[in-house]
Structures are given as C-alpha cells and as structure tokens.
Structure 1
Amino acid sequence: MRSAVIAPAPRPGRRGVVRAVLRRLPLVGTGLGLGLAVWLVAANDLAAVAGAFGRIGFVGLAAVVIVRAGIVLLCGLAWARILDGLSPAGAGAFATLRFVREGINTLLPVASVGGDVVGGRLLTFWGVAGPLAAASVLADMLFQVGTQALFALLGAGLLTQVQGEPAADLARWMLRALAVAGLVLAAFFAFQRTGAARFVECRLAALSRRLVREAEPRRPEGGSVQDALDAVWGRGRRGRIAQSVLLHLLAWTLGAAEVGIVLACIGVEGVTFSEVVVIEALSQAIKSAAFPIPSGLGVQEGGFVIVGALFGIDAGTAIALSLAKRVPDVVLGLPALIVWQNLEARRGGVRPPTPS
C-alpha cells in the first residue's frame, strides 16, 4: 500500500507578498496612529484634557457638528458642479455620497482615500457611466487637495507674521512642503489633461488581456476615463470648474469656525481670527501629509499641540480641541456608513449606468 504523499503548500509569489503587505498597511497605520494618540494623552495631564473637553459642553459640540455638516455639504455641491450637464445625477446624490466618502475615510482603515473610490462606484447607481464617475472623483480630489494647499499657504503666510523662532521654523517647513505639494499637484493635473490616463488605461487593459487571455479587447461602457476627463475639462465648463474650486475654498475656510467655537467654549482668550485660521490650516496640512494613517489618528492631535503652542495654547486644550473635531467624524460618519450599506443592499433596484 502506497503511503500518501502530502505536497507542500505553494509559497506565495512576489506579487502575493506585495499584495499582502499593501492590504495590511492601513491596519499598521491605524495601530501606529492609535498608539501615538494614546501616548499624547498619557504624556500630558489627563485631567486637564478631560476638563477642557468638558467645558465645551453639548451646545459647543452640537455647533461643531452643524458646521461640519455644512462643510461636507459644500464639498458635495462642489463635486456636483464638476458633472453639471454631463450626468443624470442631481446635487442631492452628490451631497449624500460625499457624506459616505467622509464616513468611510474617517471611520474605516482605508488610508483616507478608500471612501473616494467607493463614492465613485456608488455614483454609477444614479445612472452615471463608470468612466465619468471615476473622472469626476479624480477632478474633485485635485480641486480638494489644491484648495487645501492654497489654504495652507495662507496659514503659512500668516504664520510668518508671528514673532519667535519656532513660528519661523514651522513657516519655512510648511513653505518647503507646499512647494513639493505644488509639483505633485502639477503632475496630477498634467495626468488628467495630457492624455496620460489613456496611456495608463491601455497598459492596464493589455496586462489584463494577457492575464485572462482574452482574444477581443472590450471597451468600457461609456468610453474611457480619459474621454470622460476631456469632457469634464472641455470648453465652456470653466465656470463650473471655478465654482467647484470656490466651494472647496469656502469649505476649508469654514473649518476655522470649528476651532473658533471650541476655543471660545473652553474659555481660551486672546486668540485672533488670523491665529484661528493658522491653527486650522496648518493642523489640517499636517494631518493630510500623513494620509496613510486613517483619519490622521494621533497626527491630528500632534498637529494641534505643535501649532497651538505657538499661540500659548497648552497641550491639554489642544488635545481637547482635536477630540472635539473628531466628534462630527462619528456623529456624521456612522449614519453615512449605514446609508452606504443600504445603497449596496438596494443595488439591484437601481437603474444601470447609461453611456455619457
């Protein structure tokens, strides 16, 4: 009788290892960010943090949630302006999906970009062709990051007026970082406007055909993403693009109202409007620089501690400010995740995408 020979389990190839590492990066980032947040709280006076947070009160936190809802709504309207006249979806769909994008990016370990991918896919449930939905998300991300860079530049400019070497060092660091960000944004803009997206699509399609051994290439319904980008950036649409950019700028500026409300409720005196703008602009820039860490866990708190110290705000108050700004993430994010799941459950009853 022959003994059974057990074949050794196949070892994962290089691609499998890379995919496994990439899948775990958001979880690693979450762990690092959570550890940093816990360390920041433990390294400071916990009673001071709790006391400052308690002084905000229900009314203050409710005001912050209302302001954040207005910010997300503005971002949704900015997204809608990009596809105005090109898609059958109304402004309400874009506003709803913008809340879903924010909820996924802030509450799930997806490295702050997974919500944008999901939002583009969900947009097809409203009859928008897939390539056009993807193009709208790419353009919206460009406007969002570009306007944040402008807002951060405003904050860095105001920071140069603050006396002291720490403020000057931080301003110089921010200006260097913004210069690099400007190059990246220019490359992202060129990717959308010079046809590079079509080249990438062709290469990916060729690779896909080799992997699945398809004889006939299939053109995606509604054209290619580059065709959709050309439509978004086409002639006669500069007004809509300008409106989208202005709405994003207004949303970033309105974010300073959250800082002002929280500091006023805590009882911090002597902080001017320009200083509030600096705190919001630079702390958000620091958080965005650490985008691989979901929701900027720990990084946001550290950013408020660093920037707040320039204006005499103690670490306990700065951490309480950061925690207050996370309340809308949960209050608005949880219902958004429920809406996402309901949309997925009702997918079969939604009309299919139509070519644009």
Structure 2
Amino acid sequence: MSRLNWATAVATFGGLGLAIWMLGRTGLAQTFGVLSNIGFGGFTLFILSYLTVLLALGAAWSTARRRPHDHFPVFVWARAVREAANDLLPFSQIGGLVLGLRTLTVAGVPPVQAYAATIIDLTTEIASQLLLVLIGVGVAIHFVVEARAYADLRITIWVGVALLGLLTASVLFLRTPMLRFATKMADRLVPAASAVIDDVRGELARFEANRFAIVPSFFWNLIAWLLSVFCVWLALRLLGHPIDPLRALALEALISVIRSSAFLIPGAIGAQEAGYVVLAGVFGMDPQAALALSLLKRARDFTIGVPSLLIWQFGLFGSAERRAQRL
C-alpha cells in the first residue's frame, strides 16, 4: 500500500471516529429525534430540491464549450455520476472527474471537447465558490459582530466583501490569465489529457475567442451554489429548526471550505459533522439540529449516489459488451 493510500485510510477511519464521537457528544437520541421530524414526504421534497442543483451543475458543464446545447442531458447525467463519486468514493475529487469524463466520452462527446469543457467548468466552479465563500464569511462576521454589539464594523465588513467579490468576478473577464490557468489545470488535473494536450489547448483557445464565453458557466455554477443554500434552508425548515436565508448561505459557504480541506476523506466524513456542530452556535442553531442536517445530507447523497454509480457501472459494462460484439 502506497503512502497516499495509507494516508487516505488513516484519514477515513479518523473521520469515522470523529463522526461517531460527535454523535455521542451531541446526543444520539436527541439528534435522531430532530431527524425524524422530516418524515418521508419531507425527505422526498429534499431529494427533489437537490435535483435542481444537479441540473444547474450539468448546465454549467455543458455551457463550458462552443456548442452548449449538444448532449445537455449527458452532461447532467455525467455530473450526477461525478457528484456521486465525490461523495462516496476514495480520492473523491479525482475519482469524480475520471468517472464524469468517461461518462461523457462513452456517450459520444469528443474527448477533446470533454477535457476542455471540464477545465473551464472547474475554473468557473472555483471562481463561483470563492465568491460565495467571501460573501458567506462576510455574513458570518456580520452576525458575530452584531451579537457582540460592534455595529460600527458592519459597514466595513460589507464593503470589504463587496470589493473582494468584484475582484473575483473581474477574473472572468481577463481572458489571457484565465486561459493560462485553464491550460495549467489541463496539464495537472485532467486524466489522460496529456496525449492530446495541444488539441485541448486549441479547443480552449477557440472557446476563449469570445470574451464573454466563460460567463454562462460561471453563473450556472453560482446558481448551483445558491440552490444548494436553498436546499439547506429547506432542510432546516423541514427538520423544525428554521434559520433565515443569509445564515443558511454563510453556513453552507463555510462548510464548503471545510469539505474542500478534507479532500483525502471520502465525502469529508467526520469533518463535515464537526464543522456543522462547531458553527451551529454562530448561526443560532442547536447542535442536534446541525448534526441532523449533516446526517440528512449524507442520506441524500447515499440515496442518489449509490443508484447513480450502479447505473453508471452497468451502463459502461453494457457499452463495452456491445462494442465487443461488433468486433
């Protein structure tokens, strides 16, 4: 077993241990008592709300190319598979990219287009996440300052967040730096792209020839983030512990940072739970409600992710079988 595999195994068991410890400390019976409030109908509604996130993510990926309307359903399905791998498999981020790309190419999307669209999508997803995190941090600080009666600092906080947000958005209109960043990502992150890297660079250059071509992908990714915030807001209402939309936005933004930091752990298990419990007090939530929200998201990921991966597996097996019969 390689050092990376050992590190992943240790991180995974550490995360599981942390999740179990959090359940014990917060109160197992109380947490599941809150979780039981949602009921079957509420859970179904929560699942359906998340499907809108997948549609927006698929649109962001599809519009990151010159023919955004071709293969749109395939991009939505590939994104569902990619998210399932991110949530359930080891080496989640890389594994999700591999499965998503393979889904696209098996479905008939030319590999060069698939690689280039993935690079653009990753770039705009990072930019939109950064913008959301900046706003979320500003909101969190605002509530902390408000709770401690430092009202004079609130204007300074929001001005700073606005300036950082404008700086982030302005990156989208700087074509040369964005293209350079995207090609560096192609060299380092996109599996199997090295063999066709010149073609990928050419595809990126043709896409980038339109100054505003990257904007739709950015906004669809931003919409996906905002829809995920809506899902959190809805889930807490269904659990009987509602919070206002601004608090939901700040909470989801900070949790996304925690999940990104715990990339070695499949689904950031343990880290996500600890993050929700630690942040609960900042946003006026009970620890039991925060932990119930995390477990509810786990149940959603499992409910959608496992069937997606099984369908993907059998679908690829069927495709390989059909290709073998034609030979």
TM-score norm. by structure 1 comes to 0.74
1:290 aligns with 262
One-letter identity of the residue aligned with 1:301? E
1:234 aligns with 209
Output the CA distance in 2 between the equivalents of 1:291 and 1:154.
23
Residue number among 317, 322, 330 corresponding to 2:302 in the alignment: 330
2:79 aligns with 98
1:124 aligns with 105
State the shift of 1:37 in Å.
0.8
Summarize the alignment of residues 2-13 of structure 1 with structure 2, pairs less than 5 Å apart: none
1:114 aligns with 95
Distance 1:341 1:190, change over 3 A: farther
State the shift of 1:233 in Å.
2.1
One-letter identity of the residue aligned with 1:146? A
State the shift of 1:76 in Å.
0.6
- Correspondence 1:142 to 2:123: yes
1:194 aligns with 180
2:318 aligns with 346
Higher helix share: 2
Cα RMSD, aligned residues only: 3.4
Instruction: Count residues in correspondence.
Output: 301
State the shift of 1:150 in Å.
0.8
- Correspondence 1:51 to 2:26: no
What percentage of residue pairs aligned between the two structures are identical?
A: 30
Output the CA distance in 2 between the equivalents of 1:115 and 1:285.
18
Residue number among 27, 30, 42 corresponding to 1:60 in the alignment: 42
State the shift of 1:114 in Å.
1.2
Contact preservation (8 Å) 1:65, 1:327: no
State the shift of 1:220 in Å.
4.3
Distance 1:29 1:228, change over 3 A: farther
- Correspondence 1:31 to 2:31: no
Output the CA distance in 1 between the equivalents of 2:223 and 2:3.
38
**Structure 1 regions of 5+ residues with no counterpart?**
1-16, 203-218, 351-356
Residue number among 235, 245, 259 corresponding to 1:262 in the alignment: 235
2:191 aligns with none
TM-score norm. by structure 2 comes to 0.80
Output the CA distance in 1 between the equivalents of 2:291 and 2:123.
30
One-letter identity of the residue aligned with 2:31? V
Distance 1:199 1:37, change over 3 A: closer
Output the CA distance in 1 between the equivalents of 2:105 and 2:299.
30
1:213 aligns with none
Distance 1:70 1:227, change over 3 A: same
One-letter identity of the residue aligned with 2:316? E
Output the CA distance in 2 between the equivalents of 1:198 and 1:280.
29
State the shift of 1:199 in Å.
11
Output the CA distance in 2 between the equivalents of 1:263 and 1:200.
39
1:211 aligns with none
**Structure 2 regions of 5+ residues with no counterpart?**
189-193
One-letter identity of the residue aligned with 1:233? E
Contact preservation (8 Å) 2:251, 2:279: yes
State the shift of 1:250 in Å.
0.9
Residue number among 220, 239, 244 corresponding to 2:217 in the alignment: 244
One-letter identity of the residue aligned with 2:309? L
